Every structure is written in structure tokens, then in C-alpha cells.
Structure 1
């Protein structure tokens, strides 16, 4: 039996959230260190992956300043360029932040719905900036 070696042509892609997860669950704290998005891109390239998918907050923390956001995105894009990894899909995290405890677009609070719409538009722009062809 031969050993399978993934190749970029196979188009395997992985979510940033699946690799960066520190192993935290409802029953305990994190059990391993998180990797940065740049480290994840390099790791994926090493194992023969083609792409990496992401939620907006997987890459840019919700509380990042515009300058921090720009640096994070520039570093990530540099890692993509260095490795040939692509971003085929992007989406928006509309569930983690406490503001969304009563829903995002379905919230009774018009300020929350407005924030969800603005966040989604920024996320779509981020996905386009990273070359994502699919937005979920």
C-alpha cells in the first residue's frame, strides 16, 4: 500500500479556527497553545494543503484598531504569498461576541442588527482583499 502525500492540486483547505483551537471546551481551559494565523499558513503549506478558510475574527480580533488590523492582514497576506496557500472562502463570526447573545440579524435590538450588517460588510471586504471567491 502506498503512502498518500497531499498535493496542492487536491485542493485540501482547512479553517483557521480548526487549527488555532487551543482545545478549550465547556468542561475546562485550553490544553494547548494557539498558533498565530501566519504560523498556521506555514504549517498548512508544510503538509501539502492548498487553502485556508476563515471567519473575520479568526484573523482580526474584534477589538483590533485599524492600524492593528492592517498589520495583521499584511502579515497574513505575506505568508500566503510566501507559501502559495490561498483563501478560497471567508465568512463572518456573528455568534461568539456577547452582543449577539440574542441573535445578529434576528436581534430585537436595531443597534445590534446594524452592527451585524456593518461587521458582515467589513468581513466581505476582508475576504475579497484576501482573494476569497466564496463568501458564506
Structure 2
């Protein structure tokens, strides 16, 4: 069953070029200005952190946050865009230094739960039922500081509390290419695992050159065959038929002049070109080579297709 593919990215993917090793090299763009690029580049949905939609969320009253969320919803609608998901930003507050759901401080865990409740309310205002959790601070520097069994129980408790906020909310799996690679895993295999469990609710496609910092390189820019396998598993599994989006999480090169959006265009274009390659594969030939256990010939066949032969 072929997939149906629509594309999304987050406003953080149009950025100033600042990183751990240097200051900004481009001027920041207002959120409304960033939205102007979505349709132009072929994207239909916006990924949100909660404070992308409602800046300064922690300092706002419930009424103020609601007003700002409604304002963002109106801006989306006027731009002809949808919200794909909302992710509570649980890793930048001083109250989550030791983790959010798994902090050793009960007050910090309460803060995390409240922040997630606000994210659900924002998601409702933006008319999306998908919450993404990035458990960025939930580990520990030393094992003795945090009981792993207790930590997993707190994570489960946190997820259950989010689900209790609204029966429509979905929390599934978001496989990111670079994160899988950094963990020494194959992104396509991780997607297959989630698809088999019917829990792949979104993806973050990008690329990664080795086991270093999270590079978020343009999709397919490091390993085209690895990228092809991700496109192949998504397409043959009918990804997108239930409304899922193909999400990108890619960074522009620091050297790129403003507005630095070609990395988004390039990633989408590479996906679509690899989709054409994938759909052009001779399935009967592949099946025959698999039956014969002639994987060397299959290896060459795939490489030839990638080379345009």
C-alpha cells in the first residue's frame, strides 16, 4: 500500500546559525515571516514547541496563554497551514535541570506535569491531537543518583497524566533519523518497529555524519541509501494514509546567507526523488533475488538504481 506524503517542519528550522561553537550569523525572523515560507517551499503543517505557539508561556496567566494560542491559530489559518503537533519544552527551565518527569525534586515534577497540561490546551486551540515528548533531561550523570525502575514509573505516570487531560490526545512514536544514527541504530529499522506496533505517528527526517553532536543535516545529504530505505519503509507501509505528516528537523549550514531555507527545500526534494527511485524498483526482480538468496546481486541492483542506471 503506497503512502501519502505531506510535509512539515518547525519554526526553529529557520534560524540564526548560532551553535555551541559560535554566535548568530543571520538576523532572527519573526514567526509570522517564517510562516510565509511554508507554502512557497511545499509544506503544509507547522511543528510546535508549546512556547513557539505561546512565547513566554511560564510567565503568562491561563487567560493570557489562551489568548495567545488563539492568535497563533488565527495566523495559521490565514496562512493556509495546519499544526502537526505540540511538544512541551521540558528541558530549558531551571526547574528541569535534573529532569522533568524524573526529577528528584517533587516540586519540579509538578511543574513538568503542569507544563504538559498547558501544552495539551495549546494543542486543542491549534486543532491538533498529537503531543510529542522529547525526554531530553530525563537521564542522569551517575546511575546511583536516580533509580532506573522508579524513573521509568515516573515517565509512565507522566504520560498517563497527559492522556488523562484529554481523551483525544495521542502520544505515539516520533523516529528521528539522526537520533537513531547517534544511538548506533538504523532509522529505517526503527521506523519499521514503530510501524509494526502501529505507533509511528510522525517522523523527523534528517541526516547525520557519525557519532558526534546532533547535526540535523539535510535529509539524504550523508547517506543516500540509508535515506532511500527510510522512504521505502514509509511508502510500502502506507505511511500518511491516516493523516501522518513527513516531518523534517534540519539545520541550515552556518555559512548560508539569509533567509537560509534551501535546506528545507533540498530535504523535501530528495525525499520525493528517492520516492520515485523506490517506486521504480522492479519488485519481481527483487523477489526473485531474495528467493535465490542472491543478496550480492540485490546489493548491486539497489546501488545501480541510486546511480540512475
Q: TM-score range by the shorter chain?
A: 0.7 to 0.9
Q: In structure 2, how many angstroms separate the alpha carbons of the residues matched to 1:63 and 1:22?
A: 24
Match of residue 51 from structure 1: 45
Distance 1:120 1:129, change over 3 A: same
Checking the alignment, whether the CA contact within 8 Å between 1:37 and 1:76 is kept in structure 2 is no
Match of residue 127 from structure 1: 123
- Higher-Rg structure is 2
The offset of 1:120, in angstroms, is: 0.4
- Candidates 98, 105, 108, aligned match of 1:109: 105
Q: In structure 2, how many angstroms separate the alpha carbons of the residues matched to 1:117 and 1:88?
A: 22
Give the paired residue count.
127
Counterparts in 2 of 1:21-100, with a 5 A limit?
21-60=15-54, 61-66=56-61, 69-100=65-96
Q: In structure 2, how many angstroms separate the alpha carbons of the residues matched to 1:88 and 1:127?
A: 9
Deviations 1:38-91 (A, max 9, x none): 222222123221100111122222444336534533332222111210002111
TM-score, normalised relative to structure 2: 0.38
Q: In structure 1, how many angstroms separate the alpha carbons of the residues matched to 2:7 and 2:102?
A: 34
Unaligned runs of 5+ in 2: 133-309
Structure 1 runs of 4+ aligned residues shifted over 6 Å read none
Please say if 1:15 is aligned against 2:7.
no
TM-score, normalised relative to structure 1: 0.80
Q: SS of the counterpart of 1:87?
A: strand
Structure 1 window deviating more from structure 2 (43-52 vs 61-70): it is 61-70
Checking the alignment, whether the CA contact within 8 Å between 2:47 and 2:84 is kept in structure 1 is yes
Q: In structure 2, how many angstroms separate the alpha carbons of the residues matched to 1:81 and 1:112?
A: 35
Unaligned runs of 5+ in 1: 1-8
Distance 1:29 1:62, change over 3 A: farther
Query: Which structure is richer in relative contact order (CA contacts within 8 A, separation 6 or more)?
Result: 1
Checking the alignment, whether the CA contact within 8 Å between 2:18 and 2:25 is kept in structure 1 is yes
Checking the alignment, whether the CA contact within 8 Å between 2:73 and 2:125 is kept in structure 1 is no
Checking the alignment, whether the CA contact within 8 Å between 2:95 and 2:111 is kept in structure 1 is no
